[in-house]
Amino acid sequence: MIGLESNQIWPDRTALIDKIRTSCLKHAAKFPDHAFHITSDLNWLRYLKQAELLKRIILPRSRVLDLGCGLGFTTALLASCCDAINVIGVDLKRHPTWHELEEFGCDFCVCDAASLPFLSESVEVIVSFGVIEHAQSDIEFLKEVNRCLKKNGYNVLFQLPNKYSLSEYLSKKMGLWHHDRTYSESNIREQIKACGFDVTYMAREHFIPAQVHRVSRSLGNIFDKNCREICQLDVILCKTPLSLFSQDYLLISKKY
């Protein structure tokens, strides 16, 4: 199950990708807030595809920051799929998985994303996976990202929660976990522009929720078994008007 899709995206690095997930799964039960990110095959497949997108953006010998890296699997994925880069995972606290994941060629740092211990204009790419909505101030978060990026450097925001998300609405009604801070397209574009970035690409993603294990273990098992087909269906749905109610945004911007 673990190698379900990595052998298709990076056929020469399947063992590395599977090892990253295995290392984190050992600790998943101790960290329930992070567990659902990697226990869902559909969610894991989405992370692989996001890392594949970043591979097209990040040039060799780039310095990359992964803000709010949590267990560090996204940092390790980037180190494994992008050639000759210096990638550093940043989080508010150290996680026991970091020591194991450092063998994949990444480093980790404990600090606040709103006050990064890096020189101004010293980084080519800064990426975050569902992080900015948890920051105390999203404006201060973006300003700090801008400070650290070189001119024309990339700021990539994945999993930016959509204000009109159907799954967010249903989760709130059902008393399940949901985001307190969400964004409309116009709102995030205004903030990005105000903090010194030009939007180069923006898309709504993920109409079908991946963390269905939270609702039903049986449904979660069905999603795991059919994650490839569900992912393909999801891509199709996000090309229709239903995308207005998708879970989140992908936003790529450059520092001007």
Rounded Cα gap, residues 60 and 88, in angstroms: 15
Quote the pTM value: 0.90
Q: Is 174 helix (H, G, I), strand (E, B) or coil?
A: coil
**Sequence ranges of the domains in the chain:** 6-255
Per the CB < 8 A criterion, the answer to whether 182 and 248 are in contact is: no
Sequence-ordered list of residues with C-beta below 8 angstroms from that of 99, at least 6 positions apart, any chain: none
The predicted-structure confidence for 13-36, as pLDDT tens digits, reads as follows: 677 888 898 888 887 777 666 677
Nearest CA to 72 out of 41, 103, 43, 46 is that of: 103
The predicted-structure confidence for 99-152, as pLDDT tens digits, reads as follows: 999 999 999 999 999 899 999 999 999 999 999 999 999 999 999 999 999 999
Q: Work out the average pLDDT over 161-186.
A: 90
Domain 6-255 architecture: 3-Layer(aba) Sandwich (3.40)
At 3 the pLDDT is 39
At 203 the pLDDT is 96
Q: How many CA atoms lie within 13 A of 80 on its CB side?
A: 27
More confident residue, 61 or 15: 61
Rounded Cα gap, residues 9 and 24, in angstroms: 20
* Centroid of chain to Cα 83: 19
Rounded Cα gap, residues 102 and 71, in angstroms: 12
- pLDDT of 2 > 90? The answer is no
Confidence class for position 5, pLDDT limits 50, 70, 90: very low
Q: Is 253 helix (H, G, I), strand (E, B) or coil?
A: strand
Q: Work out the average pLDDT over 28-56.
A: 83
- CB burial readout 101-117, b (16+ within 10 A) else e: bbebbbebeeebbbebe
